Amino acid sequence: MNLSRTTALAVTTVVAAAITTLTGCGSGDGHAGRTAAAAVTPAPARQAAASAPGDTVVSRAYRAAPYAWATRHGSRIGIYGLDLHGRGFTRGSTVRLALFRDSGPRGIPVWTKDATARRIVGRPGGAFDVSTGLLDCTAYRYPKDSTLMVWDIATDTWSNKVRVATGCNTTLG
């Protein structure tokens, strides 16, 4: 009978200690509660809470997956360029546009450019319109040889893959 009473007392003590640690109750200075909360809270939310109280990354990010697409713009001399557009990114945060070539090093972008996602009427979440400065070779019937993707740095999320042709110096097959 003493053994079961001791076991019950030990379990009760462990449960009470766990509740005290996780909720921050029972600590006069509040340090234990902050430490436990920091250990449980994911890193991006912790950083956002530290930078702007009450305004977390999740509340600024659009709840759907970020989406990107490319369009072509012309010029007076007949050379087409690529514009990249996006929606569903974190408003006010930096997004990194990256170009990966099929013939280039795997997983390493050969071109990058940073932009800021902002509010654009008609598009959910943070959006952007960027002129990349890259040539669009699909207008000249070159095969698609590159992939453009956009990284939302605040949420560590990649957009969909956008296939484009940027190798205008390859031979047509």
Secondary structure of 106-143 as H, E, C letters? CCCCCEEEEEECECCCCCCCEEEEEEEEEECHHHHCCC
Count of other CB atoms within 10 angstroms of residue 95: 26
Question: Tens of pLDDT along 74-101?
Answer: 877 778 899 999 999 999 999 999 999 9
Confidence at residue 63, expressed as pLDDT on a 0 to 100 scale: 59
Confidence at residue 49, expressed as pLDDT on a 0 to 100 scale: 39
Q: Among all chains, which residue has been given the structure tokens 């050379």? A: 79
CA atoms within 13 A on the CB side of 32: 13
Confidence at residue 57, expressed as pLDDT on a 0 to 100 scale: 47
pTM check: above 0.75 = no
CA dist., res. 59 & res. 91, Å (int) = 10
Strand 126-135 versus strand 81-89 pairing type: antiparallel
Across the chain, which has 173 residues, the per-10-residue mean pLDDT values are 54 49 42 41 42 43 78 82 95 96 91 96 95 87 92 95 85 55
CA dist., res. 46 & res. 37, Å (int) = 9
